[in-house]
Amino acid sequence: MRKLSEIYILFFWFTVAGALGFVVDVGLLYLLKKALGLYLGRIISFLCAAATTWLFNRSITFGTRKSGHSRVIEFFFYVSLMLIGGTINYIIYAILVTKYSLVATHPIIGVAVGSAAGMLVNLVTTRVFLFRFQRLT
């Protein structure tokens, strides 16, 4: 039972980190899009959002675990893992928009489904591959 409650807590804090990252990502993109365009602005906003979620996750979500890496290596490893979930997010979004006219008309549905799938992949990969070592005492 204790293990299950730990999973719920982990999922809750990872979701909070994701929501925070989403706000940073979208906010910066809208601030940067005029000056840098949608593509370069998106790269910068994604990296800032990844940095934000990394800081939150290493401090709160996985605060009692260690990665065994220096902070610089840990950050680049984290961003690499986030790209896996991001790719899955985009693929699901693109499939749903292409296949279902309802999603094409209301793309927020595709964004939500893709984000949920990407978040689950990111949670698992982060927990299994990055913050995998014993709890800190």
The closest of 95, 85, 72 to 46, measured between CA atoms, is: 85
Whether the Cβ atoms of residue 113 and residue 76 lie closer than 8 Å to each other: no
More confident residue, 29 or 55: 55
65 SS3 class: strand
Kindly report, residue by residue over 70-108, the tens digit of the pLDDT: 889 999 999 999 999 889 988 998 899 899 999 888 788
Structure token pair of residue 101: 């006219």
pTM, whole model, 2 decimals? 0.77
Can you tell me the distance from the alpha carbon of 129 to that of 77, in angstroms, rounded to the nearest whole number? Answer: 9
Confidence bin at 39 (pLDDT 50/70/90): confident
d(CA 109, CA 71): 36
CA distance 114 to 92: 5
Structure tokens at 47: 């990296």
At residue 137 the predicted structure's pLDDT band, cuts being 50, 70 and 90, is very low
Q: Which residues of 20-43 are buried (b: 16+ CB within 10 A; e: fewer)?
A: bbbebbeebbeebeeeeeeeebbe
Q: CA distances (Å), 35 to each of 24, 32, 40, 46, 105, in order?
A: 17, 6, 9, 16, 29
Residue-averaged pLDDT of the chain? 87
